[in-house]
Structures are given as structure tokens and as C-alpha cells.
Structure 1
Amino acid sequence: MAKMSLHSTSLHHLLLKYALVTALMAVVVKMITAVHDLTLIDVPPFSLDTHPFVPPKTSDSRSPCPALNTLANHGMLRHDGREITRTDYIRALRQGYNLSLPLATFLTISGHVLLSQYSTLSLSDLGRHNFIEHNASLGHWDAVGDEEYAPDKTSSSLISQLVNQSTDGRTMSMRDLSAARILREKAYSRPLDSLHEEIARGEMSMVLGIFGRGNESVPISWIEEWWKNETFPRDFVPEHEQTLWKTVRGSWKINMLMRTMRAEAGISTWLLRHLVW
């Protein structure tokens, strides 16, 4: 009887191991197939003649993100902004902003994971407060009180505050954008959590990489046209590929720069308070 019980237990363990290995193999095959399928996504060339700007209707879904709204306004994403698939997000990000496949895939999958929505995403879903959207945006106001969604409209006054940080009045450098982030966050008694700090810096890194053409300096006219009107500047062409590594590196540089600038400001404040004339 004991031998039969021992044999039965061993058989159960063997079947369990077989089931786990089979399940693991199925997951690996599915991942390999999914990656292979992503490499086969056809990415049309960037063309504002083929994809002219069409203003959104009041019934269209839009997000607090000017990058995605612009893609929808130009028809690179569904113009109504509703029930968009992962493949369509990846294709549009690559077509409109020349993101590398790893970066476009990372942003798309991360969005689904953070929102816990794994099929399709409407643009308005991205406005759910404190999931991907966060306080202290450089372009839109915060969600009010306990509202679930943040405003999806760009604030002209916030954009003006942003571009006023330009040191030359014509372009926005990494230092200028870092100064704008410091100024915006200064109004809050509590800092952003680490996740949303990283998201905020990553947004600025991509703006610099995409519109700065790799030289980390963006024309103010482009920022205003793109961010305020959610349309591509007429003379913009995404010639510079924005990779995941470049985005991470840019975010790290912005972080270091913000720390240095805050430290310098702290020293200056201390000197003003304690300097004896």
C-alpha cells in the first residue's frame, strides 16, 4: 500500500513537472512568435501630405499626451482615438516619431500593464489619474480633487511658463527643460513618486531626442505648434531614430542636471540669507 502511494505521488510530481515545462514552452513560443510578428509590422513612410491634420470632433477620444493626440489628428492612429490595438500604437509611434521597435514596444506594453488593460486602449484611458498620467505636467493641469481623469486639453499658460525658461528665446535645451520641470514641481508640497518622476523625465528626453534631431535643442516654435495645437510642425521630418537606450540616457542626464540645479539654487539661497555686507 505504501509503495503504491509512493508511486502515485511520484507520478503526480512527474505530471506536474511535465505540465509546467509544457506551459513554459508554450509561453516561450508565444513570446518568440509575438516578437517575430512585431518585426513584420509594415511602417508607412512619414508624410504630412498623406496624413494631413484634421481637428478632432467633440465625440473623439483624446488623452493628456500631445504625442498620441497628434498621431490621431493626423490619422496615423484611428482619428476617433477609440479601441486602438497594440500593433497600431507601435506602428504609429514608429511612423510619426521614428521610435525604434524596442522603444515603441516598451511604451505600448508598459501602458497596457500600468493601466491593467490588455486588449485595446482608447486615448482617453491614458488620462486616468496617477496611472501613467501624473501631477506637475508641463502641458496640462492636474486632475481636480478625486476626479478619476485628468484634463486632456493643453494649457496655454503652462506652455508659456515652459517656453519662458528658454535661455536664448528661440530654443529649449536640456537645461531649459530641466529648469521648467523644477519650476513646475516647486509648486507642490510633496514630490512625485519615483515612477512618475521617471515618466516625466522620459517624456522630456523623448521630446529632446525626437524634435531636437539628436542635438538636444528644440525650436520653441515647434514646441508651441506641436504641444498647443497637437499637430506636426510643417517643416518637421523624423529623421533621427529615437531608441530606448537614448531615452534612458537622456532621462538620466536630466535627472543629474536637475539635482545639480537644485543644489546650486540651494547654495545661492543660503548665500543671500547669510551674506553680510
Structure 2
Amino acid sequence: MAAPPSDHPEIDWTKWEPAVRSPCPMINALANHHILPHNGRDITKEQAVKALTTSIKLDSGIANIFTLGALQGNPDHSKHTFDLDMVDKHGLIEHDVSLSRDDLMSGNNHSFNKEIFESVMATYGDNKETTLELASKARYDRLTACKKAHEAAGKHLEYGLKEFIFSYGETALFTAMLGDKKEGTCPIEYLRIFFEEERLPYKEGWKPPASPVTQSDMNHLIFGLLTAKAHKAAEASQVGLGTVQAVQAAVTSFLHAPSFCTIM
């Protein structure tokens, strides 16, 4: 799908009920565009992989990893399908420290939270594009806010190496999908539309990446985010590895055998 048809009807992107949606803006957008079943139900592996590879140009390997993760959310493993709200299972794909959703302890880790998202976007200020430095800072600022909220509530924040890699993988993914996967930038306008309206910003000028987003592209962006941040030592301590070098070694080992998919 290179572009919507010229007669594509105007859609109120917030009106999807009684269909179901996930905590992931990417797969929600595909359902909102009717690229995946609009009702969000009984999605097959073949449907999901085709949507991810043709509409947003993910490499087939990444698309398969993401889809296999989603399929694990169905409690009936004999069906080989998933509904979008099954992706909501905490610790499977969904995790704390989301850029657009509240943490599990809030009671609603599923729905878009405008207050949280605006706090993330404040990091970008008046910039028209994201950068690796600002995107990394936005992630860390969100982690800091979540940690404070958990401490105030007397709760433990679940944020170790797995969640750390998921988080930076998500930022790498939306950067590669919406912007320049080599430079690590994407238009702020596209980012807002993607998260707030859960649609692909075709009418604002977005086009799918010219070439598939590969694991190599993802690794390039993840390490760009890791090396760009000024808070390396503090986050290394948070994930329990102590030093920046230990974090980089652990991430390298993890990415050499990638088996993760992400929720933003």
C-alpha cells in the first residue's frame, strides 16, 4: 500500500468500538486503515506479516517475530490467531514505561494517555524533527517519572534489561518507520499523528520506507540511542548491570539472537 486511494473517505479515527484495539499504536493504525481486520479480531499470522511487510515495510524476519509474540497472547493456542486486545497481556509485549500508556499499577495500561504523551513530547520542545539525543532523553525522562510514581505508591517498577531493550527498540522502530533510519530522525508531526490518532500520516506526506526495515537498521538505531544519551550510568544502574559497558555487552548479546517485539 503505497498511498491511500484518492477517494479514501474521511475517518474519525477515535470511533472504532465495538471493535477491539491493542496498546500498540502501530498495529492499531493498521486496523484503523482496514489493512488488518478493522474489528481487530481473529488475525492470522499471514495477515499480520503481510500487513507489516507491505504497508510499513518491515523486514519479514522482524514482522514474523512481532507476529509470533502477538499470537502468544491468545490463551487458546490451538487457534493460531489473535485479537488485538490479547496483546494487552503484561510482560508478553506490553510493559511499563510506555511513551503513550500508563503503567500496569494504574489499572489502565491499555488506553492512550494524553497527559503522559504530552510529557514525553515536551522533551522535543519546538523542534520539527526528533533526534537520537532527544529521543533517548524522552525515554529516560519517562523512566524517571515512572520510577517516582512507583516509589510514591510503594510499588516496585518492573524495568530490567528486557524492558530496557524493548523500550529502545520501540523508539528505533517508529524512527525507522516514520523517518530516516540512517540519520535517526523523524518529523514530529508524523510522530504525533501516529500516537494520537493511530493512523499512518499519508495525507501529511509520509510514505513507507524505500527499503525494508531490517534488524541491522534496528541495531544501528538502538546503539545510536544508547550512545547518544547523557544518562548512561544512571540507566545502567537502574537495569541492574552497574556499568555502561555491561549494558552495551548485554544488549549486543541480546540483539545477536533477537526474539523481541515491542509496544510503544
Q: Shorter chain as normaliser: what TM range?
A: 0.7 to 0.9
**SS of residue in 1 equivalent to 2:112:** coil
Q: Residues 15-73 of structure 1, C-alpha deviation per residue, up to 9 Å, x if partnerless?
A: xxxxxxxxxxxxxxxxxxxxxxxxxxxxxx33222866643432111011000000000
Residue 261 of structure 2 corresponds to none
TM-score computed with the length of structure 1 as normaliser: 0.71
- Residue 264 of structure 1 and its aligned partner are, at CA, apart by 8.9
Residues 16, 32 of structure 2: 8 Å contact kept:
no
Residue identity matched to 1:196: E
Match of 2:242 in 1: none
The Cα shift of 1:82 comes to 0.5
Separation in 1 of the partners of 2:10 and 2:53? 18
Task: Give, in whole Å, the separation in 2 of the partners of 1:173 and 1:236.
Answer: 18
AA partner of residue 86 (structure 2): D
- Does the Cα contact within 8 Å between 1:162 and 1:180 map onto a contact in 2? yes
Corresponding residue of 1:141: 102
Question: Contact conserved, 2:193 with 2:200, CA < 8 A, in 1?
Answer: yes
Residue 54 of structure 2 corresponds to which residue in structure 1?
Answer: 95
1:212 alignment counterpart: 179
Cα distance per residue 1:105-157 (max 9 Å; x no partner): 12212333476764111110111122210111011112246x5x722x21222
| Residue of structure 2 aligned with 1:181, choices 132, 139, 152 | 139
Matched, 1:195 2:162: yes
| CA apart distance, 1:171 | 1.3
Unpaired segments ≥5 residues, structure 2:
152-156, 236-264
1:59 counterpart letter in structure 2: P
What is the CA–CA distance in structure 1 between the aligned matches of 2:136 and 2:174, rounded to whole Å? Answer: 12
Measured in 2, the distance between the counterparts of 1:53 and 1:227 equals: 18
Residue 5 of structure 2 corresponds to 49
Show the counterpart of 2:218: 247
For 1:1-277, what aligned pairs fall within 5 Å after superposition? 45-49=1-5, 54=11, 55=13, 56-113=15-72, 118=77, 119-144=80-105, 150-151=109-110, 153-166=111-124, 169-187=127-145, 188=147, 189=151, 190=157, 192-214=159-181, 215-233=183-201, 234=203, 235-240=205-210, 241-258=212-229, 260-263=230-233
Unaligned runs of 5+ in 1: 1-44, 266-277
Partner amino acid, structure 1, of 2:109: A
Q: RCO greater where, 1 or 2, for CA within 8 Å and sep 6 or more? A: 2
Query: Kindly tell me: are residues 247 and 232 of structure 1, through their superposed partners in 2, closer, same or farther at Cα, counting changes over 3 Å?
Result: same
Task: Classify the secondary structure of the residue corresponding to 1:161.
Answer: helix
Which of structures 1 and 2 has the bigger CA Rg? 1
Hey, which of these two has a bigger chunk of helix by percent? Answer: 1
Counterpart amino acid of residue 70 in structure 1: A
What is the rounded CA distance, in whole Å, between the counterparts of 2:9 and 2:53 in structure 1? 17
Size of the aligned set, in residue pairs, is 218
Q: Which amino acid in 2 is paired with 1:218?
A: C
The code of the aligned residue for 1:101 comes to S
**What is the rounded CA distance, in whole Å, between the counterparts of 1:59 and 1:248 in structure 2?**
38
The alpha carbon displacement at 1:236 in A equals 0.8
The secondary structure found in structure 1 opposite 2:186 is strand
Q: Percent sequence identity over matched residues?
A: 22
Which shifted more, 108-117 or 129-138?
108-117
Conserved in 1, the CA contact under 8 Å of 2:25 and 2:198? yes
CA contact (8 A) 2:58 2:214 kept: yes
Q: Per-residue deviation at 1:239?
A: 2.8
Measured after TM superposition, the shift of residue 165 of structure 1 is: 1.2
For the residue of structure 2 that corresponds to 1:103, the secondary structure is helix
Summarize the Cα distance change of 1:244–1:262 in structure 2 as closer, same or farther, 3 Å threshold. closer
